[in-house]
Amino acid sequence: MKKAFSVLLVLCFLLGIVFAGIVPSENLQYIVEDVHGKVGGTLYYYSISDPKTFNPAFAQETSSTDITGIMWDSLVDFGKNDDIRGGNLALDWEVTPEGNGWTFTIRKGLQWSDGHPLTAEDVYWTFKNIWFVPENCLSTYDVITDAQGRPPQIEKLDENRVKIWYREPYAVGLRQIGGVQVFPKHIVEPVLAAGKWKEFWTLADVNKLVGSGPMLVSEYLPDQRVVLKRNPYYFRVDPAGNRLPYFDTLIFISVPNLNTAQLKFEAGELDYLAPQAAQYPNLKAQAAAKKWDVGICGPTYSTLFLAFNQHSPTKEQQYWFRNKKFRNALSCAIDRETMIEVIYNGLAQPQWGPVSPASPFYDPAVEDLAATFDIAKSRAILKEAGFTWNAEGKLIDDRGIQVKFLLTTNAGNNQRETACNLMVDTFGQIGIDVIFNPIDFNTLVGALTATGNWETMVMGLTGGPDPHSGSNVNRIDGDLHFWNIHPDVGTWADPDNYWISNEEWQIDRIFRDQVREMDEEARWQMFADYQRLFVEEAPLVYTVQALRLYAKKAELKGTDPGSSSSPPILWNLWGLYRE
């Protein structure tokens, strides 16, 4: 927060200069970005699947949100790692005296892409009528409500200020409120009144789009391309007084898969490519000759873990899977280095804890708890836990039952299938018979959320910069606390045979308390404890984490790729230019 304020102060200072020198006629409170580019041109990007809708309230997958994110801005600006960079539509904000909300000051002189003024009324109206009404959006209501599912309150103080507050201090509130988009009341109000909001701003409504972001869609041809043109009223400028963005046009060319995208990139038809690890060495080798920049953005927020069902339908397995030592022993028997080489061509890193190194909440101390591949150590832990080996070298527990289980993942996902095969091999080395049985994704979801009919599985969930996004996974009564589901949530869990370890209680406690902790330092410490507890307890055994890669033409300048969930170079679309 301190950092955000100091950035804001600098911005305000710069604003003063700009006001004095370049644009005295208008009273728009610009954001001056420190970029020095050339105006004009077209940026050629690609998309593997088409957007499904242009309506941000109903956009779900990234092919849609990547584009709606460009067209509508939110109150707060997020940077390359989804970190809070400063104000966006909001000039600044201050925490209310009670500490449970924020008073946002909206920039003066903002305009929608049709020239209509954008004021605090639009902000107030959007929250009140779209985001606070579950029926009027797909899942954003879930995002902005507090930990108990209660929406915040909003009040319009005057023409420039709105106050948004929760019933009690809510640590992630700013990130969540500041991240949702604001719509033009003068366009959406009549549509909503007519009951047509759900069918508004579909792909057929290109000519009805009125937004606040740097660019707006001007043409959409199904499975061919989406063309975006610059918004002449966008509120960012460079120090020379050029209104941003630099590019006039951004074209998403539709490609069927990443291989075709690579061919198009190599042929010079695309300016940018996010290659997979398998494509990387080839691109890197050509980089100098073809004048490309090829590199690594950093770790992503994706995860790949091994989970044990503590309510497994096979009863004797529950006894092993609830044993923390058993899980830790298996963690030592996962050969992460080989996984990185085989699955990711070496372009990945081992992951030890539940928080990605890209997150500001990552505590490097988890690396000290790392369970490096060591069969002897794994066997020693198993022995200590009372397991022994029979004459054939198979692992048996202290009741004499041979340890064996099914391992599953969603069929067709090569990376996960390879990870499973490697595990089958190394678990065999400690005497465990693992049968690998990949199943269809939908069946897998059914097993996880409806029937509980699984033993162990390799899965991934996408996290975010703030570990709070994993609340639903970490709280013991969370819907996605699937490895040890609460009997109230999952009918397959037997209430008489339900057991929660001390560590799980503590993690649950942390996730309940952290949302009320407004002090960043204290909250960081809570999440550090969470990461340590999680690695020690190992309810999920994390494996490896892919690195995000990029390849771009060297003539494309101003890029600053990061781990952001949006396309890695488009978070600062306003600052990109061609030399």
Partner 1 sequence: MLKFIIRRLILSIPVLLGVSILSFLIISAAPGNFLDVFRLDPSISRETVQRLEREFGFDKDPFTQYLTWLFQVVKGNWGYSFQFKQPVFNLIWQRLGATLLLSLTTLVFSWAIGIPLGIYAALKQYSFKDQLSSVIAFLGLSIPSFFFSLLFLYFASRTRLFPIGGMLSVNSSQMNTWELIVDYLWHVIGPAVTLGFSGLAGIMRQMRGQFLDQLHMDYVEFAKAKGMPRKVVFYKHALRNAINPLITIFGYSLSGLLGGAVLTETVFGWPGMGRLVIQALTAQDLYLVMASLMVSSLMLIIGNLAADILLALVDPRIRYRFH
User: Smallest distance from the beta carbon of 59 to partner 1, in angstroms?
Assistant: 10
Residue of 55, 112, 69, 106 lying closest to 573 (CA atoms): 69
SS3 for 173-196 is HHHHHHHCECCCHHHHHHHHHCCC
Which residues ranging from 259 to 288 are in contact with partner 1 (CB under 8 A)? 260, 263-264, 266-267, 269
**Cα–Cα separations (whole angstroms), residue 413 to 150, 418, 420, 544:** 37, 9, 11, 15
Assess 514 for contact with partner 1 (CB under 8 A).
no
User: Smallest distance from the beta carbon of 266 to partner 1, in angstroms?
Assistant: 6
Assess 449 for contact with partner 1 (CB under 8 A).
yes
Assess 289 for contact with partner 1 (CB under 8 A).
no
> In this complex, which beta carbon is closest to partner 1, that of residue 260 or of residue 402?
260
> In this complex, which beta carbon is closest to partner 1, that of residue 191 or of residue 396?
191
- Label residues 400-424 b or e (16+ Cβ within 10 Å = b): eeebbbbbbbbeebebbbbbbebbe
Stretch that binds partner 1, among 202-210, 335-343, 360-368, 375-383 (CB under 8 A): 202-210
Which residues ranging from 151 to 190 are in contact with partner 1 (CB under 8 A)? none
Assess 469 for contact with partner 1 (CB under 8 A).
yes
> In this complex, which beta carbon is closest to partner 1, that of residue 202 or of residue 418?
202
Q: H helices within 385-413, ranges in order? A: none
Assess 203 for contact with partner 1 (CB under 8 A).
yes
Q: Which of 26, 98, 142, 555 is in the footprint of partner 1 by CB under 8 A?
A: 142
Q: Which of 2, 20, 442, 496 is in the footprint of partner 1 by CB under 8 A?
A: 442
Stretch that binds partner 1, among 206-214, 288-296, 316-324, 463-471 (CB under 8 A): 463-471
Q: Which two tokens stand for residue 23?
A: 């644009």
Task: Kindly state the number of chain residues that form the binding site for partner 1, as judged by CB under 8 A.
Answer: 56
Assess 480 for contact with partner 1 (CB under 8 A).
yes
Q: In what order do the strands lie in the sheet with 90-95?
A: 90-95, 101-106, 161-165, 153-158
Q: What string marks each residue from 55 to 84 as x (binds partner 1 by CB under 8 A) or -?
A: x--x-xx-----------------------
Distance between CA atoms of 177 and 429, rounded to whole angstroms? 50
Assess 445 for contact with partner 1 (CB under 8 A).
yes
Q: Which of 97, 115, 149, 400 is in the footprint of partner 1 by CB under 8 A?
A: 149
> In this complex, which beta carbon is closest to partner 1, that of residue 266 or of residue 513?
266
> In this complex, which beta carbon is closest to partner 1, that of residue 27 or of residue 442?
442
> Strand, helix or coil at 294?
strand
411 DSSP 8-state letter:
T
User: Smallest distance from the beta carbon of 167 to partner 1, in angstroms?
Assistant: 18
> In this complex, which beta carbon is closest to partner 1, that of residue 6 or of residue 491?
491
Cα 230-231-232 angle, rounded to 5 deg = 105
Cα 501-505-507 angle, rounded to 5 deg = 115
Distance between CA atoms of 544 and 351, rounded to whole angstroms? 5
Q: Which of 471, 484, 559, 564 is in the footprint of partner 1 by CB under 8 A?
A: 471
**Cα–Cα separations (whole angstroms), residue 467 to 12, 298, 358, 416:** 31, 18, 11, 23
Stretch that binds partner 1, among 23-31, 237-245, 249-257, 374-382 (CB under 8 A): 249-257
Which residues ranging from 212 to 241 are in contact with partner 1 (CB under 8 A)? 219, 221-225
Q: Which of 49, 65, 153, 302 is in the footprint of partner 1 by CB under 8 A?
A: 49
Q: Which residues contact 241 (CB under 8 A, 6 or more apart)?
A: 18, 21, 22, 23
Residue carrying structure tokens 């997958």: 61
Q: Which two tokens stand for residue 139?
A: 């899942």
Assess 494 for contact with partner 1 (CB under 8 A).
no
Assess 306 for contact with partner 1 (CB under 8 A).
no
Q: Which of 41, 87, 465, 470 is in the footprint of partner 1 by CB under 8 A?
A: 470
CB 557 within 8 A of CB 577: yes
User: Smallest distance from the beta carbon of 60 to partner 1, in angstroms?
Assistant: 8
CB 467 within 8 A of CB 359: yes
CB 305 within 8 A of CB 327: no
Assess 143 for contact with partner 1 (CB under 8 A).
yes
Q: Which of 45, 141, 246, 577 is in the footprint of partner 1 by CB under 8 A?
A: 141
> In this complex, which beta carbon is closest to partner 1, that of residue 203 or of residue 287?
203
Pairing relationship of beta strands 540-542 and 76-78 according to DSSP bridges: unpaired
128 DSSP 8-state letter:
I
456 DSSP 8-state letter:
E
Round the CA-based radius of gyration of the chain to a whole number and report it: 26
User: Smallest distance from the beta carbon of 355 to partner 1, in angstroms?
Assistant: 14
Q: How many residues does the chain have?
A: 579
Number of H helices, E strands in the chain: 17, 25
Residues within the interface to partner 1 (CB under 8 A)? 44, 49, 52-53, 55, 58, 60-61, 134-135, 138-139, 141-143, 149, 198-199, 202-204, 219, 221-225, 251, 253-257, 260, 263-264, 266-267, 269, 440-443, 445-446, 448-449, 461, 463, 469-473, 479-480
